[in-house]
A = this chain, B = another copy of it.
Amino acid sequence: MNIVVEFFFFVVTFKVLWAFVLAAARWLVRPKEKSVAGQVCLITGAGSGLGRLFALEFARRRALLVLWDINTQSNEETAGMVRHIYRDLEAADAAALQGNSDRRPRHFLIQENRTFTCQLGLCKENVYLTAERVRKEVGEVSVLVNNAGVVSGHHLLECPDELIERTMMVNCHAHFWTTKAFLPTMLEINHGHIVTVASSLGLFSTAGDYCASKFGVVGFHESLSHELKAAEKDGIKTTKEIEPFLPPLKPDYCVKQAMKAILTDQPMICTPRLMYIVTFMKSILPFEAVVCMYRFLGADKCMYPFIAQRKQATNNNEAKNGI
């Protein structure tokens, strides 16, 4: 065999093995978490669920938070919780400094976080305008957490077209617009972090439009990560977070695990870890065996309780405004 080709294969094999060694080392010795203190961190869909939990976790780490949500009221509630955490941090800092006037505050003290009402699913212009306001009023975003997501909760044929479009726009298209809005500055300074909150239904399972949107966003994220690698922009980190759908795990736990992954620049985190195995099994099993595995895990009908719940709510006229 040509010596150049042999050398080339040797380099590739060495790099792959080295990647395994590094991954194993990360597993055994947890890397130090990076600081996000004072950095502008934007979270979409911050008004509830995982978005709110992410906001609180970043606030505890003294990040300067920019919260986006379609629902102004719930977003303000999150902002209130964040302010509460800031006050506690300031009080703790003040207590630590008491009687020690020589010491300067350990961190940049954050006085305020900001909320913005933004309809990600409606139009991209709204995203770009809000991004411009953030840039002017707060500063350049260092950490972008693309978290906002919606679920229509219907079988494919029963799902109104408008809801399919809304799911695709919010869960997938919006990632393009927010990334296009904030990535250019990150590229200029070769510093930043983009987090994509995907779902186990972005890897496998059955849930019509939701599945398509989450697969789409996994594709977008992987593509972006590899595009940044190909452009050798190693200062910009990406983390894909695979959240369980209708979790048996507490959202708190999932977000804490995700925070560890983000702050140690881990490219992907699946909670629970079982999902790594399911993804692996999907790649080797024949289709009929995958069907069997899904049935065993209840994944083939995982959306059914949600659909039933939604139908019940609609019957009770509770969901009319929610849709």
Contact = CB atoms under 8 A, between A and B. Distances in A.
B172 A168 contact: yes
A279 to B, nearest CB: 5
A225 B187 CA distance: 40
Given A157-B183, A183-B157, A285-B19, A219 B223 contact: no
A6 interface: no
Nearest to A8: B296
A209 B156 contact: no
Interface stretch (A75-83, A93-101, A130-138, A199-207): A199-207
Nearest to A9: B296
Nearest to A164: B176
A319 B230 CA distance: 26
- In the complex, the count of this chain's copies comes to 2
A124 interface: yes
Best-surrounded residue of A187, A283, A300 (most CB of chain B within 10 A): A283
A291 B176 contact: no
A306 interface: no
A246 interface: no
Contacts of A124: 161
Interface string A162-202: 00110010001100110110011001000000000000011
A3 interface: no
Interface stretch (A42-50, A66-74, A104-112, A210-218): A210-218
A122 interface: no
**8 A-B pairs with the lowest CB-CB distances in the bound complex, closest first:** A215-B219, A216-B216, A19-B289, A206-B226, A267-B287, A23-B286, A19-B288, A211-B223
29 contacts: A12-B292, A20-B289, A23-B288, A156-B180, A156-B224, A156-B227, A161-B176, A161-B180, A164-B173, A168-B172, A172-B216, A176-B209, A176-B212, A206-B230, A209-B220, A211-B219, A212-B216, A212-B217, A215-B215, A215-B216, A215-B222, A216-B216, A216-B219, A226-B294, A229-B291, A230-B300, A267-B287, A268-B287, A280-B284
